[in-house]
Copies of this chain bind each other. A is one copy, B any other.
Amino acid sequence: MRKFVWLIFLLTLPLSLMAQKGWYRDKTDPQPTVNPDRTVTFRYYAPGADTVEVNGDFLSKAERPALMKNNGNGLWEYTTSAPVRPEVYTYSYIVDNQKVLDPLNMFVWRNISDLYNIFIVPGERTENYQIKDVPHGTVSSVWYNSPALQMNRRMMVYTPAGYENGRRKYPVLYLLHGMGGDETAWLDFGRAAQILDNLIAQEKASPMIVVMPNGNPSQEAAPLENSTGYNLPQFYLPKTMDGSFEESFTDIFSYVEKNYRVIRKKSARAIAGLSMGGFHSLYISALYPKMFGYVGLFSLAVAAQEEYKDVPVYRDIDLELKAQFEKNPPLYWIGIGNEDPLYQDVASLRKKFDLCGYPYTYYESEGGHVWTCWRIYLEEFTQLLFK
């Protein structure tokens, strides 16, 4: 039956591989290479190219993109000038001004309509982003009907290990993505399932259900998962900040309360989001002040767009916040990076809260408007929930 193995080999040998030469053929090491001193070496084989560059969020702004050096055999190399801080990074190559992915790295995340290769520099901070040999929750792609938006829509739901074969009821965190993202963003870039699995296994976070809806009201689901077929999505989808997501939120809420074993109490419900998702969380939690005990605003956009200022959910925010804080929510958490362009807007919001006497927990990190911050905020925030 060796014949079978040989046949299958020929049959499934990627077409692409056959067209490749030299260095590539036997290469199976992870790319790029994280060296023992935590510098990182990138390699790209392109004998005919004039220039090859590497680009990504591991480089400082001044270094971006970094020119690679041809070693004479068609293999271009670049090693970072200093050790790279442990983190998950995204990168791509630019060959003669053409952006391409790394053919030797199959680990790719999608953001909006662009793909990025990823690599990890292991360290303390990235420990919880990795899949470990701990009990794992279930991640489900679930469709619910939204009468408010008049469509079937997809959301991702994390149920903690033990949910399937138990009877226990759980608290729920609703976790919202930013502009240009969709229901998969927190799972890919955000490592939400890994962070929850690991924090729960370490008994640092309470076992909880995490609901990740799609915050783009014009969209049923992420690209390739919706009935519009194989079209590229727009970056600026319509209706993202016009109040319709906030108002349709009860459709998500009703589905979850009906179909999952949840604790039906304000003290067992949290909502959090990043950027536009922080904006959504601010207004949803104020609009439905009996719903959420815990609120997390990560690098949030604060004010409504001019053209939608008179939508009730935005227009009445001050009254709504007053009502919300009169009920003493157990945790109102605001996190932002010290280089975030939204820093001043958030500072103004905090000032308003201080004036009004609304208590909140403030977490300021290094960094800008990036996933590096949001993963950390998720880790910090989830450890404070449902205690």
Contacts and interface: CB of A to CB of B under 8 A. Distances in A.
Interface of A: 1-2, 4-5, 7-12, 14-17, 19-21, 28-30, 45-50, 53, 55-57, 64-65, 92, 94-101, 103-104, 106-108, 110-116, 118-120, 130-133, 135-143, 151-152, 154, 161, 164-165, 178-180, 221, 223-227, 229-232, 234-236, 258-259, 275-276, 301, 303-306, 341-342, 345, 368-369
Given A48-B49, A101-B100, A154-B136, A16 B94 contact: yes
Contact of A142 (B107, B138, B179): B138
Contacts of A104: 232
Copies in the complex: 2
Given A7-B342, A47-B97, A138-B141, 8 more contacts: A4-B303, A11-B341, A19-B65, A106-B114, A131-B229, A138-B142, A139-B141, A165-B258
Given A49-B48, A114-B106, A94 B19 contact: yes
A96 B143 contact: no
Contacts of A143: 135-138, 161
A305 B108 contact: no
B103 A108 contact: no
22 contacts: A1-B305, A2-B306, A4-B301, A8-B301, A14-B111, A15-B57, A17-B99, A17-B114, A19-B65, A20-B99, A29-B232, A30-B230, A46-B98, A95-B100, A101-B115, A107-B224, A108-B108, A108-B115, A120-B229, A132-B227, A138-B141, A140-B140
